[in-house]
Amino acid sequence: MTVSPPAASHYLRLDPRAKLYLLLLANLVMFFHVSTRAEAVLVALVIVPLLTAGRVRMGVRLAVTYAVLLAIGLWAGAAVMDGVGTAGGEQTWVHVVGALCVGLRMMLPCFITGAYAFSTTSVSEFVCALRRMRVPESVVIPCMVVIRFFPTIIGDYRRIRDAMALRGLATGRWSLLRHPAQSLEFVLVPLLMNATMVSRDLSVAALTKGLGTRGVHTSMTEIRMRWFDWVAMVVCTIPLALGIGGVL
Amino acid sequence: MSAQLADKSTAGSRTHDELVLLRDCVFAYRQDAQGYGDADNAVHDQAAPLALNHDNLTVHSGEIVMLCGQSGCGKTTATRLLNGLIPGFYHGALSGSRTVCGLDGDTADISEYVPLVGSVFQNPKTQYFNADVTAELAFACENMGWQSARIRDRVAEVAHRFGIEPLLGRRVFTLSGGQQQRLAVAAATMLSPQLMVMDEPTSNLDAVAMRELHDMVAQLKAAGVTIVIAEHRLAWCADLVDRYVLFADGAIVAEYTASEFRALSDERLRELGLRALDLEPYRQRVAELAATAHDDTAESDRHSDIPKRSKINAQSQIPLIETHHLTVGYGRKHGQFGSWFSKRMQRGQRSAFSRTIPDLRLFPGQIVGLMGRNGAGKSTLVRTLCGLQKPLAGRILLHTEPARPSALTRAGFLVMQDVNYQLFSDSVREEVLLGLDSADEATREQADEVLRDLDLLQFADRHPMSLSGGQKQRLAIASALMSGKELIILDEPTSGLDRRHMMQVGALLRTLADSGKAVLVVTHDDELAALWCDSIVTLDDACSLRALDSDGDGQRWIV
């Protein structure tokens, strides 16, 4: 029996490096403030890998959200245009909603590509990708530690909230909001105390497994850029290029 | 299968029969290396000035050696010499000569120990570095720069060898403590080490998980691997150990062969501060107590003939807490950010858990033990009894009145296994006054009294985190007493404790009960349960258990 590499699943998933590239593209789209049309095309394109990776429900939800935000934004824009000169309270309201929707919509491409990258990539693939991109171990290891700590912190937080409830500290529904500084202290002190101990144990465990050895560190997971990775990267670059060039 | 295994079997027959040679080793931790400085000598676990005091230790190839002794006796420190963590990670004044697997301790770098010595530590939750099981197994090989195909073969081979294939690909975070510890052992053997070093590997495990660990150790022994274990609990691997080394105050005071050690009487073991080698009498006692608990009409009669039981038992006829047809559990997992990082999180696969609890009655003045496997629903039940979560069905009566969760939270207190989560203040006195009117003279006096009763008054101005584990536990209890809690629940209060500290905890439970509190103690510790509990509730009946944990692609396990 051998452990089958994750790529053998029947879903089509891009290489982690291609995913990171898509994430970069989405950020550039926001950064360069490209036209709504280019942005919409890009969103349509990046939804596709999400669907092929088997995240149909997530893909559809994100697509619908984008469409709704886009529609509201366009409607609000049109409404404001129509009502030029007719000042009124209603128009301010339309303005606010419109601006909000446009703001959210512009962030969605980053969110979609981010959700895609994180929900379809295992940590080992991610680490392997970093190593293949020749990112130094001094960056790779902190990344691994951060990912390792997420579930720990969530578990710790729940236990601390239990302990606070038992002591009658910050119990009411809105107490965290009403006394933010005090609540933060109650949560943070045990959280940090515990994190120092966990980190010491983790360092010890990692050292005895050779994380500190010099020399090349390899990955069990193999990743490979295939033709569709390149196609996805090129195709998704087109709307950005056209958008920046002012064509779209 | 292959090269690595063959390699290992020949290792046993090689000429360097003495795998470990410690000669006249002396070590003292630098004070900051152990966290929080020097605590009171009498009570602090690690405060002995010399952690190792002129120790000589030889371990032969293929042997299993058990390092035993009371907390702070130096056995953990000795294991750290064997895997290079001293001086590689823990710093301090070190002298004496050390040879481990042919490495000279003075010149070898900690990374040279990696392929030769595998290490397993006490806490299953903090010794895995990767989010999923397969990656954790592969980790050491990746760090050694092995090629991908070779790592995959080795992962499959080790997983098969220890029967942990069903765990492959799962998130380590979702495994039980016992599964995590088996993973830790498997991961430590990935590089086919000649020597395995285990530092209190069972302190968080239940009986079944200890049995599984025993089988892994047996398998390693059969393959000729040399194993050094530092432990308080001696019973789980008594049939495998070849030699016992007894530490006291940093010095090796005695060595016994297995037969010599078995010949020691229980009294002698107790004098040495050691846990029992044979748990059978304790298990029988636990079974008796569990039987009486189910037969609740005869409850108070049966207790009358047993010494050391509380007198209050018979007096208080009104239970503090009573449950009726209680079902505890949860419908689905609460928000799990962690799953964002796992490709295995599939929509619609929710984890559900529900467990019907035999009707319970907790009386003031009584110590009730709650036992059962990891994952049998003990912590869910405890959370429900404390009002931290709602029962799925059934009723909980407090003082014979149906009680809402908020009322239960006011009446009950849970001393967590990891007590660090429940200490919030920067001095011991403030901790017990937290949430109370600290300006009030009567309150302050009461606080001092509670602290005095729990032997904490001398530390009143110290930071809670500078206390030892047992002191922190007592401080948490002190805070509960100050806020007038009637039900004190303790989760695994004796994990990782030697006999003396275990007995101290037992006496503390008795003190709490005698002061009129109802005490519920969740434990895997047969000795604590047999010696101190008035009755025992076991949550093991498979018939009433409807627990399903689904994670990943259809892998389900029923606990």
Which pLDDT tens digit goes with each residue over A201-216?
888 999 999 988 888 8
B225 domain-assigned:
yes
Q: Which residues 205-234 of chain A have a CB within 8 Å of chain B?
A: 205-222
CATH of residue B154? 3.40.50.300
B131 domain-assigned:
yes
CA distance A231 to chain B (A): 23
Nearest CA in chain A to B339: A119
Neighbours of B329 (CB within 10 A): 20
pLDDT of A25 over the 70 cut: yes
Q: Of B231, B258, B278, which residue sits at a domain end?
A: B278
Cβ-defined contact of B147 to A210 (cutoff 8 Å): no
B52 domain-assigned:
no
pLDDT above 70 as % of chain A: 92
Distances (CA, A) of A142 to A121, B108, B135, B445: 18, 26, 16, 49
Residue A81 touches partner B, C-beta closer than 8 Å:
no
- Dist. CA A232–CA A45, nearest whole Å: 8
CA distance B95 to chain A (A): 22
Q: Of B249, B278, B307, which residue sits at a domain end?
A: B278
pLDDT tens for residues B4-56? 444 444 444 444 588 999 999 999 988 654 443 333 333 344 444 788 888 99
pLDDT of B556 over the 60 cut: no
pLDDT of A83 over the 80 cut: no
Together in a domain, B268 and B288: no
Please check whether residue B201 is in contact with residue B189, taking contact to mean a CB–CB distance below 8 angstroms: no
B390 domain-assigned:
yes
- Dist. CA B17–CA B416, nearest whole Å: 45
B384: containing domain:
281-557
- Dist. CA A168–CA A207, nearest whole Å: 41
- At A226, list the tokens: 């295939």
CA distance B168 to chain A (A): 9
Q: Of B253, B278, B303, which residue sits at a domain end?
A: B278
Please check whether residue B353 is in contact with residue B404, taking contact to mean a CB–CB distance below 8 angstroms: no
Please check whether residue A120 is in contact with residue A53, taking contact to mean a CB–CB distance below 8 angstroms: yes
CA distance A84 to chain B (A): 46
Residue A2 touches partner B, C-beta closer than 8 Å:
yes
Together in a domain, B189 and B123: yes
Distances (CA, A) of A174 to A171, A177, A183, B389: 8, 5, 11, 18
- At A139, list the tokens: 């960056």
Domain ranges of chain A: 11-121+225-245, 136-208
Q: Which residues in A lie closer than 8 A to residue B478 (C-beta atoms)?
A: none
Cβ-defined contact of A209 to B139 (cutoff 8 Å): yes
Please check whether residue B27 is in contact with residue B94, taking contact to mean a CB–CB distance below 8 angstroms: yes
Neighbours of B254 (CB within 10 A): 14
Together in a domain, B272 and B353: no
Q: Pick from B123, B126, B152: which is nearest to A220 by CB?
A: B152
Please check whether residue B290 is in contact with residue B371, taking contact to mean a CB–CB distance below 8 angstroms: yes
Band of pLDDT at residue B246, cut at 50, 70 and 90 = very high
Closest-CA residue to B460 (of B423, B440, B430): B430
Distances (CA, A) of B77 to B43, B92, B298, B492: 18, 11, 50, 24
Residues B65, B69, B72, B74, Cα dihedral to 10° = -40
B124 domain-assigned:
yes
Three-state DSSP class for residue B505: helix
- Dist. CA B159–CA A43, nearest whole Å: 43
Q: What mean pLDDT do residues A128-144 have? A: 88
Neighbours of B456 (CB within 10 A): 24
With residue B158 as reference, give the H or E element that holds it.
helix B148-161
Cβ-defined contact of A163 to B416 (cutoff 8 Å): yes
Beta-carbon contacts of B381 under 8 Å, excluding residues fewer than 6 positions away, are B326, B328, B355, B357, B370, B539
Beta-carbon contacts of B429 under 8 Å, excluding residues fewer than 6 positions away, are B447, B448, B451, B460, B461
Q: For CA atoms B21, B26, B30, B35, give the dihedral sign.
A: positive
CA distance A164 to chain B (A): 7
Q: Which residues 142-171 of chain A have a CB within 8 Å of chain B?
A: 144, 147-148, 150-152, 154-156, 158-160, 162-169, 171
Band of pLDDT at residue A84, cut at 50, 70 and 90 = low
- Dist. CA B315–CA B337, nearest whole Å: 50
Nearest CA in chain A to B130: A148
Query: Mean pLDDT of all residues in chain B?
Result: 81
Q: What mean pLDDT do residues B378-406 have? A: 90
Choose, out of A1, A2, A3, the residue to mutate when testing the contact with B (most B CBs < 10 Å): A3
Residue A194 touches partner B, C-beta closer than 8 Å:
yes
Three-state DSSP class for residue B332: coil
Rg (CA), chain A: 23
Please check whether residue B185 is in contact with residue B237, taking contact to mean a CB–CB distance below 8 angstroms: no
3-state secondary structure chain A: CCCCCHHHCCCCCCCHHHHHHHHHHHHHHHHHCCCHHHHHHHHHHHHHHHHHCCCHHHHHHHHHHHHHHHHHHHHHHHHHHHCCCCCCHHHHHHHHHHHHHHHHHHHHHHHHHHHHHHHCCCHHHHHHHHHHCCCCHHHHHHHHHHHHHHHHHHHHHHHHHHHHHHCCCCCCCCHHHHCHHHHHHHHHHHHHHHHHHHHHHHHHHHHHCCCCCCCCCCCCCCCCCCHHHHHHHHHHHHHHHHHHHCCC
Beta-carbon contacts of B290 under 8 Å, excluding residues fewer than 6 positions away, are B371, B535, B536, B537, B538
CA distance A108 to chain B (A): 17
pTM to 2 decimals?
A: 0.81
pLDDT of B312 over the 90 cut: no
Nearest CA in chain A to B138: A220
Band of pLDDT at residue B176, cut at 50, 70 and 90 = confident
B44 domain-assigned:
no
Q: What mean pLDDT do residues B185-214 have? A: 92
How many Cβ contacts (< 8 angstroms) between chains A and B? 207
- At B520, list the tokens: 């519920």
Three-state DSSP class for residue B437: coil
Q: Which residues in B lie closer than 8 A to residue A217 (C-beta atoms)?
A: 142-143, 145
- The lowest-confidence range among A202-211, B164-173, B291-300, B338-347 is B338-347
- Dist. CA B289–CA B374, nearest whole Å: 20
B38 domain-assigned:
no
Cβ-defined contact of A168 to B410 (cutoff 8 Å): yes
The pLDDT, as a whole number, for residue B32 is 58
- The lowest-confidence range among B13-22, B44-53, B269-278, B516-525 is B44-53
Backbone angles phi, psi at B90, to 5 degrees: -90, 125
Nearest CA in chain B to A182: B424
Q: Pick from B114, B151, B159: which is nearest to A210 by CB?
A: B114
pLDDT of A220 over the 70 cut: yes
Choose, out of A19, A153, A166, the residue to mutate when testing the contact with B (most B CBs < 10 Å): A166
Band of pLDDT at residue B156, cut at 50, 70 and 90 = very high
Residue that has been written with the tokens 């009950």 in this structure: B412
Cβ-defined contact of B435 to A1 (cutoff 8 Å): no
pLDDT tens for residues A172-212? 667 777 778 888 888 888 888 888 888 888 889 999 999 88
Q: Pick from B128, B155, B435: which is nearest to A220 by CB?
A: B155
How many residues belong to chain A? 248
Burial environment of residue A202 by CB neighbours within 10 A (0 to 12, 13 to 18, 19 or more): buried
The pLDDT, as a whole number, for residue A40 is 93
Together in a domain, B191 and B328: no
The pLDDT, as a whole number, for residue A197 is 84
CA distance A54 to chain B (A): 10
The pLDDT, as a whole number, for residue A87 is 57
Q: What mean pLDDT do residues B346-358 have? A: 63
Cβ-defined contact of A165 to B343 (cutoff 8 Å): no
The pLDDT, as a whole number, for residue B370 is 92
Please check whether residue A143 is in contact with residue A200, taking contact to mean a CB–CB distance below 8 angstroms: no
The pLDDT, as a whole number, for residue B27 is 92
The pLDDT, as a whole number, for residue B522 is 93
Band of pLDDT at residue A5, cut at 50, 70 and 90 = very low
B130 domain-assigned:
yes
Q: Which residues in A lie closer than 8 A to residue B134 (C-beta atoms)?
A: 3, 124, 220
Q: Which residues 99-128 of chain A have a CB within 8 Å of chain B?
A: 118-124
Indicate the number of domains in chain B: 2
- Tell me the pairing of strands B487-491 and B103-104: unpaired
Please check whether residue B91 is in contact with residue B30, taking contact to mean a CB–CB distance below 8 angstroms: yes
- At B225, list the tokens: 């691997």
| DSSP state for residue B274 in the 8-state scheme | P
Residue scoring higher pLDDT (B331 or A201): A201
- Dist. CA B499–CA B496, nearest whole Å: 10
The pLDDT, as a whole number, for residue B8 is 42
- Dist. CA B19–CA B348, nearest whole Å: 53
The pLDDT, as a whole number, for residue B289 is 87
Together in a domain, B130 and B11: yes
Cβ-defined contact of A217 to B142 (cutoff 8 Å): yes
Cβ-defined contact of A208 to B118 (cutoff 8 Å): yes
Q: Which residues in B lie closer than 8 A to residue A123 (C-beta atoms)?
A: 130-132, 135, 341
Q: What mean pLDDT do residues B455-470 have? A: 87
The pLDDT, as a whole number, for residue A213 is 87
Backbone angles phi, psi at B537, to 5 degrees: -110, 130
- Dist. CA B135–CA B155, nearest whole Å: 9
Band of pLDDT at residue A127, cut at 50, 70 and 90 = confident
Q: Which residues in A lie closer than 8 A to residue B113 (C-beta atoms)?
A: 208
pLDDT of A16 over the 60 cut: yes
Query: Residue type for B318, please?
Result: I
Closest-CA residue to B456 (of B480, B484, B481, B428): B428
Together in a domain, B295 and B425: yes
